[in-house]
Amino acid sequence: MNKQKYHQLSVEETLHDFKTQPTGLSINEVDERLQKYGPNLLSEQKKSSLLQKFIAQFKDLMIVILMVAALIAAFAGDLSDAIIIFLVIILNAVFGVFQEAKAENAIDALKEMTTPSSRVIRSNTIQTVKSSDLVPGDIILLEAGDIIPADVRFIKAASLKVEEAALTGESVPVNKNTAAISQADISLGDRKNLGYMNTSITYGTATAVVTTTGMNTEVGHIANMLNNVKQTTTPLQKSIVHLSKILSILVLVIAALVFIIGIVADRASVLEMLLTSISLAVAAIPEGLPAIVTITLALGTQTMAKKNALIRKLPAVETLGTTEIIASDKTGTLTQNKMTVERIYESNQLEDVKNKDAKNIQSSLMQAMILANDSQQSADGLLGDPTETALIQYYLDNSTDVSDIITNYPRLFSLPFDSERKLMSVIVEKNGEKFLFIKGAVDELLKRTVSIEINNQITPLSANARAEILQVNQQMAQLALRVLAFAYRPLAEIPENPTSLNLEQELIFTGMVGMIDPERPEVKDAIRQAKSAGIKTLMITGDHKDTAAAIATRLGILDAATFPNSVITGTQLDQLSTEELNQTVENYSVYARVAPEHKVRIVKAWQQKGKIVAMTGDGVNDAPALKTADIGVGMGITGTEVSKNASDIVLADDNFATIITAVKEGRKVFANIQKAIQYLLSANLGEVLTLFLMTMLGWDIFAPAQILWINLVTDTFPAIALGIEQAESSIMQRKPRGTKSSFFSDGVLSSITYQGLLEGTLTLGVYWLAINYPLHSSQALIHADALTMAFATLGLIQIFHAFNSKSLHGTIFTKDLFANKMFNWSILISTVLLFATILIPSFNDIFKVSHLAPQQWLIVLIAGVLMLIIVELVKLIQRTFFTK
């Protein structure tokens, strides 16, 4: 098959060429072609194997330096240090591979969740399949908003327009048709009967046959070139790498000072000081931070996906935490997207349906609501106009046998609704008696009404009764309810030529019904949570101003004091210049009768105020606003493929409450990264200060094996576990952190500083106690015990400090300390590995430690507990005196 000629072939020739037909391929043919052509996917850069990932871990400069140090130690005869250094290198490499593979798996799982689908005809049946399963010869159905999933030849087209700017550079959508083109060599943009993968349908509908898939498509050629481009890191990862580089320089300077001072003061041999300084530098540099950030973000996406928020771009997870404005569509997102009966007016009584027992209503109003109705019941529920299905659903929800009424009153004739008379009527029969039931606009129906039924009694419709009906109609309209009136009349006979003039007259008024698309029950609480979190919720809708205002008021977006000044219409927006809108945008919470193109103006106006804006959208025309917003939120159910692809997040349930859940998760992810950074850097600072001051004071210093072992067992496992901590209860009571905040904001930098100093002080204090209050008379034993106690103290302090780090400012005693199972295991493993070096005799020589007496262990334990208590006291003081 030569794809260059498909535009020259007629529809029949194309179908013949692919051995297919309008009824589609059979399942067997699909399987055979899938084997032949492969999946309809654009190939990505080849992933590294586990071995390649493992080797890549040794490319880091500090690891290379450490390997050189190990070789030097081995040649110098210090085999124990060489073995420990190599062991640490290998373990770090293994853990690095695990981190990278974990992040990749999380992201791959996310991609699987967001795999696009296509409607295809196979074996004369319309099916929805993954777009990756399409094969050449498949017949697919397309409509406005769809992304074309492969290169196709259109075989049917109705008012079809396709946006091809990304591929051809054509600035406006291209009109498409099915006619063959005689010229062989014409540009892609001129092939009016072809569609290309990843271009979008902006108008009309089409049926098409798939011509090429995957890397054989026009976009596939571009993808082939893109795969040779080096993959870039996210801005968040870049900032972490930048932070690591700055810290690396600082640590290297300190390590150099330790080496120089140690040599000048004759603290150890040149080789020993070199190994110590290198070990200190490697231990103190947080080389695992980028991996921790990636894993935390990736795990965050999986958590959100389980809660119906599919994250399409990793940085969006972190950006969510800064969201200050959420601009939401009304229908389907804030509301249930289904009309629902709320008020019923019957026998001069207006009642809320919550207070009305529908099962006891056996009246003409009930008959009119059910019979003057074209809804159809099916296995999938009610089918028909949303207004009519709402009338039937009201009775179904109240366990009324609707089908029994329909059966007892078979329909003989109907006059469908039209926009001029605003009425719809049916003629039914029961036991030989014929009745006309009618529904429609209140004012139009009253023009034809002469009587009213009250408590089953029919009386003439007086002027007062008519005025009361109109007043109640107005009352319901002010509540933004859509009102329908109902009437009936007995018929002696059916006219030969039934029309509105000879049927819809002399009616008996029986009641009115008020309906609305109600708010989702969980949304009001979500908006309240957003407000307490410092997030302003906006409603943007194409509905009428009154309807929008009523729902907004019910949800808490508006209050009586601000309405109507907080509501603006699209027409009013058009009258405002960009400067005027920028100045006044904070006045508005509801935007009614708004066209999609207005959304971009609204987003930009809020961004001009320095706000981080999340915008929801589901239509093709929403794509520009979704891309303009800081966070674009697409709808998974009602959303078009165009809007989903323009979004950073897709809501699988189209629910506003899910956005708030995602914001909470985004804040949690950022907070957990802050916790990991605070923990790692304070621990590293404690190590650096301890070794630096030991050198300056002329004390014994840790062996390289001891430094590296502490760094391995106390840093790695708890830091990763902190990345999956549960959200703190107060996380949605805090204001958005703002665009200028960093990981060191909110007191994190000062906490790192004092906690690092505290770790160093406690460790040095234990060493001083051991030297000045020894258990032995031998100087060698005294110094061995002192160094062992300092080694155990530094490690145990960091393990205790991991508990402090579970909350940046809150007390850990109000948290469920054992909810995070991974954290519990990490603490247990770190503790066992640390104590094993001292308690297992065969490890003593390797790690240059001695056995400790119970009272010495008690001092070590007290130092660890002191770390926990002091940090908690500092946090208590911060909360009491410095928290606003």
Q: d(Cα 8, Cα 184) in Å, to the nearest integer?
A: 7
pLDDT on residue 2: 47
Q: Which are the catalytic amino acids?
A: 329
> Looking at this protein, which amino acid is placed at residue 843?
F
pLDDT on residue 100: 59
Q: Where is 514: in which H helix or E strand?
A: strand 507-516
Backbone angles phi, psi at 810, to 5 degrees: -80, 160
Lowest mean pLDDT among 142-151, 262-271, 760-769, 830-839: 262-271
Q: d(Cα 677, Cα 824) in Å, to the nearest integer?
A: 19
Task: Give the architecture (CATH level 2) of 340-516.
Answer: 3-Layer(aba) Sandwich (3.40)
Residue 351: how many CA atoms within 13 Å on its side-chain side?
A: 12
pLDDT on residue 871: 95
Lowest mean pLDDT among 132-136, 345-349, 366-370, 726-730: 726-730
For residue 710, what are the CA distances in angstroms to 87, 248, 702? 13, 18, 11
- pLDDT surpasses 60 at 61: no
Task: Give the architecture (CATH level 2) of 55-98+234-303+663-728+739-882.
Answer: Up-down Bundle (1.20)
Lowest mean pLDDT among 216-230, 448-462, 764-778, 844-858: 216-230
> Looking at this protein, which amino acid is placed at residue 672?
N
pLDDT on residue 303: 82
- pLDDT surpasses 70 at 183: yes
pLDDT on residue 79: 62
Range ranked top by mean pLDDT from 244-248, 271-275, 638-642: 271-275
Q: Comparing 310 with 48, which gets the higher pLDDT? A: 310
Confidence of residue 234 (pLDDT cuts 50, 70, 90): very low
- pLDDT surpasses 80 at 496: yes
In terms of CATH, what superfamily is 309-335+520-654?
HAD superfamily/HAD-like (3.40.50.1000)
Strands (E) across 89-199 are located at 117-122, 125-130, 139-143, 151-163, 174-175, 194-195
Handedness of CA 710, 712, 713, 718 (dihedral sign): positive
Range ranked top by mean pLDDT from 231-245, 437-451, 834-848: 437-451
Burial of 559 (0-12, 13-18, 19+ CB in 10 A): exposed
Q: d(Cα 489, Cα 598) in Å, to the nearest integer?
A: 48
For the chain, residues classed under CATH 3.40.50.1000 are 309-335+520-654
Handedness of CA 738, 740, 741, 747 (dihedral sign): negative
Q: Comparing 299 with 168, which gets the higher pLDDT? A: 299
3-state secondary structure 817-846: CCCCHHHHHHHHHHHHHHHHHHHCHHHHHH
pLDDT on residue 564: 63
pLDDT on residue 123: 92
Q: Is 151 left (phi over 0), alpha (psi -120 to 50) or beta?
A: beta
Q: d(Cα 102, Cα 300) in Å, to the nearest integer?
A: 13
pLDDT on residue 147: 86
Q: What is the pTM of this model?
A: 0.68
- pLDDT surpasses 50 at 107: no
Confidence of residue 233 (pLDDT cuts 50, 70, 90): very low
Q: Comparing 426 with 743, which gets the higher pLDDT? A: 426
Place of tokens 């063959």: 180
The closest alpha carbon to 104, from 219, 241, 222, 231, belongs to 231
The two structure tokens encoding residue 611: 């706000």
3 state SS of 119? strand
pLDDT on residue 104: 56
The 8-class DSSP code of residue 232 comes to P
The closest alpha carbon to 60, from 231, 244, 277, belongs to 244
For 266-284, what is the mean pLDDT?
Answer: 71
**Where would I find the H helices in 307-400?**
315-320, 364-371, 386-397
Lowest mean pLDDT among 255-269, 439-453, 595-609, 722-736: 255-269
For 348-367, what is the mean pLDDT?
Answer: 77
pLDDT on residue 865: 95
Q: What proportion of the chain, given as a percentage, has pLDDT over 90?
A: 33
Q: d(Cα 330, Cα 289) in Å, to the nearest integer?
A: 41
Q: d(Cα 231, Cα 242) in Å, to the nearest integer?
A: 18
Residues 6+ apart with CB under 8 A from 349: none
pLDDT on residue 209: 95
Residues 6+ apart with CB under 8 A from 176: 154, 157, 160, 161, 162, 192, 193, 195, 204, 206
For the chain, residues classed under CATH 1.20.1110.10 are 55-98+234-303+663-728+739-882
The two structure tokens encoding residue 530: 């957003």
pLDDT on residue 802: 92
- pLDDT surpasses 50 at 226: no
- pLDDT surpasses 90 at 431: no
pLDDT on residue 398: 82
- pLDDT surpasses 60 at 404: yes
For 811-837, what is the mean pLDDT?
Answer: 85
Q: Comparing 296 with 841, which gets the higher pLDDT? A: 841
Cis peptide bond upstream of 416, omega within 30: no
Confidence of residue 622 (pLDDT cuts 50, 70, 90): confident
Helix then strand count (H, E) for the chain reads: 31, 26
- pLDDT surpasses 90 at 769: yes
Tell me if 293 sits within 8 A of 240, measured CB to CB. Answer: yes
3 state SS of 435? strand
Tell me if 372 sits within 8 A of 486, measured CB to CB. Answer: yes
For the chain, residues classed under CATH 3.40.1110.10 are 340-516
The closest alpha carbon to 58, from 29, 86, 30, 19, belongs to 86
Tell me if 797 sits within 8 A of 763, measured CB to CB. Answer: yes
3-state secondary structure 318-342: HHHCCCCEEEEECCCCCECCCCEEE
pLDDT on residue 265: 76
Task: Give the architecture (CATH level 2) of 3-40+134-226.
Answer: Distorted Sandwich (2.70)
Backbone angles phi, psi at 839, to 5 degrees: -80, -25
For 504-522, what is the mean pLDDT?
Answer: 92
- pLDDT surpasses 60 at 3: no
Range ranked top by mean pLDDT from 169-178, 331-340, 739-748: 331-340
Place of tokens 């840790």: 702
Tell me if 495 sits within 8 A of 502, measured CB to CB. Answer: yes
- pLDDT surpasses 90 at 251: no
Q: Burial code of 710-736, b = ≥16 C-beta within 10 A, e = fewer? A: bbbbbbbbbbbbbbbbeebeebbeeeb
Q: Comparing 335 with 290, which gets the higher pLDDT? A: 335
pLDDT on residue 766: 96
**Where would I find the H helices in 773-877?**
779-804, 821-839, 841-847, 854-877
Tell me if 224 sits within 8 A of 238, measured CB to CB. Answer: no
Residues 6+ apart with CB under 8 A from 811: 872, 875, 876, 879
Lowest mean pLDDT among 57-71, 126-140, 469-483, 548-562: 57-71
Range ranked top by mean pLDDT from 49-63, 119-133, 312-326, 360-374: 119-133
Q: d(Cα 653, Cα 386) in Å, to the nearest integer?
A: 20
Tell me if 544 sits within 8 A of 400, measured CB to CB. Answer: no
The 8-class DSSP code of residue 519 comes to B
* pLDDT 10s digits, 277-291: 776 676 666 655 666
pLDDT, averaged across the chain: 83
- pLDDT surpasses 90 at 487: yes
3 state SS of 272? helix
- pLDDT surpasses 70 at 109: no
Q: d(Cα 648, Cα 667) in Å, to the nearest integer?
A: 16
Q: Where is 772: in which H helix or E strand?
A: helix 748-772
The two structure tokens encoding residue 159: 């008012």
